[in-house]
Homo-oligomer: A and B are copies of this chain.
Amino acid sequence: MMIIMKSSATPQDVERVIAKVKSVGLAVHLSQGVEATIIGAIGETHSLPTDQFEVMDGVEAVQRITQPYKLASRQFHPENSVFPIDGFSVGGEELALIAGPCAVESRSQIIETAHAVKEAGANALRGGVFKPRTSPYSFQGLGEEGLEYLAEAREQTGLPVVVEIMSQVQVALMVKCVDVLQVGARNMQNFNLLRVIGETQTPVLLKRGLSASIEELLMSAEYILAGGNKQVLLCERGIRTFETATRNTTDINAIPVLKSLTHLPVILDPSHSTGHFDYVAAIARAAVAAGADGLIVEVHPDPAHAMSDGRQSLKPEKFTAMVKQVSQIAEIMDRRLASVQAPVH
């Protein structure tokens, strides 16, 4: 960390900054130039907030040299993280393809969808049972009943299940029932939740917040990693911008940026990032071409009667067509869609 002093800073100002740097256990490297005096703070600075220095008399600016995250950084872990999700692995050659409805609505709906997405080539099943809804009057999910239906769908198809968790009080129940814990965009900075999840050994799908920066996404991943859970899968799902032609703006740049900054696998959710089924296949292809490690896609057998997100859900036949296109792009990228075996009974 470098602290740049104002040209008007007094020797006392410089002394006070140096004393403060030393007081937090860092070494000092002083550089006095004609235009500016610069104080380098050397040591474990990633946990040090910059504003303690910015506020001091005589300080012009504070510049970090190292990233504020460590466990998530590729700098200290150059190899890709590859970890298994019941039947296949993410982060390596295999692409994750998670598909299913926004919400589990009934036993028949989730079982029908599970078979349909499995047949089309998906290797994991999504389906929410606790739903974060903007309106208190909207359908809030089936709760535990939904978890039972998901268990049956997994039993029949062999697909691991990915389910959103909304509160730390749900953790004990969820880790027994699901294969991947999904942290939704609105909870990306629910730090109490992140800490509790970090203490489990269940893989986590961490979605980027609507207006979270890439650095903040990595800091949230750091919370989970710091707790001891190393199986974090990052997910770009669109950010909020001024553009209203689509529900969100897919930040496709985030794919190569994240792949360069972190060793964690990165997937994309084209359903939320566009908000309209017409655009899902194009953005799914783009994600894989940009280097994503997988996709999570909303599929519903009857979108017009979906209780939520019908507008952005693919019918199974459109999903099947999408998978074919994505497979071809994957091949060019030296990747392939992982396939999951049905359980033998």
Contacts and interface: CB of A to CB of B under 8 A. Distances in A.
Nearest to A227: B136
Nearest to A223: B136
Interface string A141-160: 00000000000000000000
Contacts of A77: none
A56 interface: yes
A253 B256 contact: no
Contact of A219 (B42, B134, B169, B303): B134
Contacts of A55: 277, 303-304, 306, 310-311, 313
A111 interface: no
A169 B305 CA distance: 36
Contacts of A190: 166-167, 186-187, 190
Contact of A213 (B226, B242, B305): B242
A65 interface: yes
B290 A286 contact: yes
B283 A136 contact: no
A253 B310 CA distance: 19
A211 interface: yes
A210 B122 CA distance: 35
Interface in A291-341: 291, 303-306, 308-311, 313, 325, 328-329, 332
Contact of A289 (B57, B187, B329): B329
Interface in A212-233: 213-216, 219, 222-223, 226
Given A54-B311, A241-B251, 13 more contacts: A2-B38, A35-B66, A132-B189, A136-B195, A167-B190, A169-B192, A211-B242, A214-B245, A239-B242, A241-B242, A242-B242, A243-B253, A260-B279
5 tightest Cβ-Cβ pairs between the two chains A and B: A47-B137, A211-B211, A31-B31, A289-B289, A286-B286
